[in-house]
Amino acid sequence: MKLMLLTLLAVSGLCLASNVLIFNYDQVDLIYDTALGDSIDTGYWVEQTLLALGDTVDSGTTLPADLSSYDAVFMMMGMYTC
């Protein structure tokens, strides 16, 4: 029960306006999105969703040495393709 409460508190904290980093490891790994009619990387829709929720989003291909200024970090490691 305590674990569930802590998890809910952590998730609710992320729902508030946060400073978020999206680390996009593999910029070469693109997919074609028919809704946009263009190729996108793995972090595109994560970034769009966070922006729509009112978060401040930084994204890039290098991971900063100091992550203390961020409330959350999403690490996009690419996608599995056959």
List beta partners, residue 33: 38
In whole angstroms, what is the distance from residue 23 CA to residue 64 CA? 9
pTM: 0.68
CA dihedral over 48, 80, 27, 70, signed as positive or negative: positive
Q: How high is the mean pLDDT of the chain?
A: 80
Predicted confidence (pLDDT) per residue in 20-52, tens digit: 999 987 777 788 889 889 988 888 888 888 899
Tell me, what's the pLDDT at 12? 52
Tokens coding 12: 């609710």
Q: What share of the chain is helix, strand, coil (3-state, %, to 5)?
A: 30, 25, 45
